[in-house]
Structure 1
Amino acid sequence: MSVPDGYFDVPPGKVAAVVTSLEMLAPPVLRPDPIGDWALRRVAQPDPAWYRDLYARVGSEWLWTQRLRMSEAELSRTIRAEGVEITTLEHAGGDEALLELDFSKKNECELVLFGVTSKLIGTSAGRYLMNHALRRAWAQPLTRLWVHTCSFDHPRALAFYQRSGFRPYRRQIEIAPDPRLDGTLPRDVAPHVPLLA
């Protein structure tokens, strides 16, 4: 399909992001585990309220909204589905990271969600969590592990995934309602994405 070059207007009330999908087809050489004041915790049957709170604390600055828009029943089915694994990092008495792996497709794993709260950005906790994700994923009989990130995410996210061993294979443009205009997120989050009411 031929797509014309040039600039295209984003409709009022919408936001547009460049989405990059990345994959790895074999286990990578892991970077050394950093040492920090955090501990991994697998959450076998996540409570939707707990999950929403952590999802918002990790992702609001990056305009994560998909799980916030789900009904409680839909969210429960999604995060408790067979093949879905959710892990957090405990730090200073609270949960400060979200890792979601989906093994529901045979020989494949999607790294659905990955992030740490602002408290842990810059502490190497992300590398620690990624090493766990890679060990856990490749302990299964996989032929492919994949993830996607977008231009709304932390400016170092794409490079982080590439350093971790992922290679880009697809780029898309996503247009969606601006979640700050419909009340899904506060209007003052994600200042790196201009708010055009």
Structure 2
Amino acid sequence: MLTDGYHDVPDGKLAMVVTHLEMRAAPALRPIELPDGVSLRQVAPTLEWYRDVFDRVGAQHWLWFSRLKMSDADLAAILTDTDRVYYTLGKDGQDEALLELDFSQSGECELAYFGLTPKLIGAGAGRFLMNHAIATAWSRDITRFHLHTCTIDSPQALAFYLRSGFTPYRRQIEIADDPRLTGLLDSDAGPHVPIIG
């Protein structure tokens, strides 16, 4: 059990405050149009597609690393799981967003991954994609839609999820190897988090 006060994080490790959020009923959604030149599509992801979008949306900017540690076989098993659905937003012929919804738990949906590349941030595309995520989740027979985010993710993420209708219910501390020191990511990834180690 942690006591009040400061606690050292070992060199080479990251410490993240993780906030878990949920919604228990579909909220009223404010309609929003996609920005000009942006299109939504459902994806049957290949390993190459997923690794590319995962990297450009989250790994390079926000140090997403959990899927980077997975073997091709393990990741392929997730990508072909029929209880998961994937969407992206395209602009100028390139996919610039990742929405992954996991319906594997009966009566629930997890927002497993959600994010945009810098090319779409600030244009209203994120709100459109979140509305789509909420509508898609609640189109199924669920009683709970949930997600988690952490303090090394985008500083706008938590407030965005709260504005979207999610309610926080749990907080944890996660300690993990810094992926820039293990070779999963380049040393210039996630410049907002200093490397110590």
- If the length of structure 1 is used for normalisation, what is the TM-score? 0.96
Q: Which residue of 2 aligns with 1:27?
A: 26
* Deviation beyond 3 Å, 4+ runs, structure 1: none
Separation in structure 1 between the aligned mates of residue 63 and residue 20 of structure 2, nearest angstrom = 18
Q: Which residue of 2 aligns with 1:158?
A: 158
Tell me whether 27-36 or 68-77 shows the greater mean CA deviation.
Answer: 27-36
Give, in angstroms, the shift of residue 161 of structure 1: 0.3
CA deviations 1:38-68 (Å, max 9, x no partner) are: 1111112x11011001000000211101111
SS of equivalent residue, structure 1 residue 5: coil
Q: Which residue of 1 aligns with 2:89?
A: 89
SS of equivalent residue, structure 2 residue 180: coil
Q: Is the 8 A contact 1:20 1:149 kept in 2?
A: yes
Q: Is the 8 A contact 1:62 1:152 kept in 2?
A: yes
Give, in angstroms, the shift of residue 189 of structure 1: 1.4
Task: Please give the root-mean-square deviation of Cα atoms over the aligned residues, in Å.
Answer: 0.9
Give, in angstroms, the shift of residue 33 of structure 1: 1.1
Unmatched 5+ residue regions in structure 1? none
Separation in structure 2 between the aligned mates of residue 68 and residue 152 of structure 1, nearest angstrom = 16
Give, in angstroms, the shift of residue 186 of structure 1: 0.9
- If the length of structure 2 is used for normalisation, what is the TM-score? 0.96
- Counterpart code for 2:150: C
Unmatched 5+ residue regions in structure 2? none
SS of equivalent residue, structure 1 residue 180: helix
Q: Which residue of 2 aligns with 1:14?
A: 13
Separation in structure 1 between the aligned mates of residue 187 and residue 24 of structure 2, nearest angstrom = 40
Q: Which residue of 2 aligns with 1:193?
A: 193
SS of equivalent residue, structure 2 residue 55: helix
Q: Which residue of 2 aligns with 1:104?
A: 104
Q: Which residue of 2 aligns with 1:49?
A: 48
- Give percent identity, aligned residues only: 57
Give, in angstroms, the shift of residue 32 of structure 1: 2.5
